Amino acid sequence: MNDIMIALIVIIGTVIAYLFSRWLYKRVYTPLLLPVAVSTFIIVIFLIVTNISYDTYMIGGEWINCFLGPAVVALAYPLYQNKDVLKELAFPMLVGTFIGAVVGIVSGVWLAKLVRFEEELVFSITPKSVTTPVAMDISESLGGIDTLSAVFVMVAGIAGAMFGTYVFKWFGLKETIGRGVGYGSASHAIGTSKALENGQLEGSISTIAMILSAVFVSIITPYLIHFMM
């Protein structure tokens, strides 16, 4: 089978898995059935059962990745629509995101050391709360494994989007700015997509928090690591 046919099968299969996951999410509405998590689970199980390698899947998967850039750029639209409100909330968003960045780094390092991870794994999990390209660069600069960091980023993103609703409920957090900053600084783009379900303003705040978090984590990670290791 040539690469074109493989790519077509992969793209169609991935779309079907995601559409099924969205249908299930709407039918049985619960954060635990987040479409990106369910579709990922379906694809992983299918690849394992059929003994298809990840490299084979990525013949078509890399074409799907091409849409990631335009999808992120599209987040600028709700930012523009809510620009006046966002200007008024600039200071609390900066402070909240900075604190979120610090907590994200410290919690990752502390938990990794608690279970006695090797130093290389500690460096890999440290930037788990920022978007994948940034996390991989930070991990590599620290001496971690960049591909493993990408896995930790996915876990943090999916877990945050799935359990964020329950965490907010447990702590009685109902403010839009708090929820938006929480999703963006802890769960990057996946969390932002969940925030957008709750409204454009929350999604916009989450988008800014995601961007600021990437900047803050890039700057402060080496210093925090130095004091914690």
Q: What is the pLDDT along the chain (229 residues), one digit of tens a residue?
A: 677 788 888 889 999 999 999 999 988 888 888 888 899 899 999 989 988 888 888 888 888 877 777 777 777 777 778 888 888 888 999 999 999 999 989 988 888 888 888 888 888 888 888 888 888 888 888 888 888 888 888 888 888 888 988 888 898 888 888 899 999 998 888 888 889 888 888 888 998 999 889 899 999 998 888 777 6
Nearest residue to 203 via CA among 68, 85, 34: 85
177's CB contacts (< 8 A; 6+ apart) are 89, 92, 93, 96, 205
Rounded CA separation 100/184 (Å): 9
pLDDT given at position 216: 92
Tell me: do 131 and 50 sit in the same domain: no
Q: What angle do CA 70, 30, 85 make, to 5 degrees?
A: 50
**Residue 54, token pair as written in the block:** 């990840």
Nearest residue to 25 via CA among 184, 170, 194, 174: 194
Beta-strand (E) ranges in 40-119?
Answer: none
**Residue 189, token pair as written in the block:** 């783009």
Within a domain: residue 134?
A: yes
The full 3-state SS of 125-140, as one line of letters, equals HCCCCCCHHHHHHHHH
Distances (CA, A) of 103 to 98, 125, 144, 224, 227: 9, 13, 20, 11, 14
Within a domain: residue 71?
A: no
pLDDT given at position 81: 80
Rounded CA separation 3/154 (Å): 27
Tell me: do 182 and 114 sit in the same domain: yes
Tell me: do 18 and 43 sit in the same domain: yes
Tell me: do 170 and 94 sit in the same domain: yes
Tell me: do 120 and 200 sit in the same domain: yes
What is the distance in angstroms between the CA of the first residue and the CA of the last residue of the chain? Answer: 50
Tell me: do 155 and 213 sit in the same domain: yes
Within a domain: residue 105?
A: yes
From 46, 66, 86, give the residue that closes a domain.
66
Tell me: do 182 and 213 sit in the same domain: yes
Tell me: do 15 and 93 sit in the same domain: no
Tell me: do 115 and 91 sit in the same domain: yes
Q: CA 122 from chain center: how many Å?
A: 19
133 lies in which domain range?
76-228
Within a domain: residue 117?
A: yes
Q: Are 182 and 203 in contact (CB under 8 A)?
A: no
Within a domain: residue 92?
A: yes
113's CB contacts (< 8 A; 6+ apart) are 122, 228
Tell me: do 132 and 192 sit in the same domain: yes
Tell me: do 115 and 218 sit in the same domain: yes
Within a domain: residue 98?
A: yes
- 77-97 in b/e form (b: 16+ CB < 10 A) is ebbeebeeebeebeeebeebb
Q: Would you give the DSSP letter of residue 33?
A: G
How many domains, in total, are found in the chain? 2
pLDDT given at position 1: 61
From 43, 66, 89, give the residue that closes a domain.
66
Tell me: do 34 and 104 sit in the same domain: no
pLDDT given at position 229: 67
Within a domain: residue 171?
A: yes
From 17, 46, 66, give the residue that closes a domain.
66
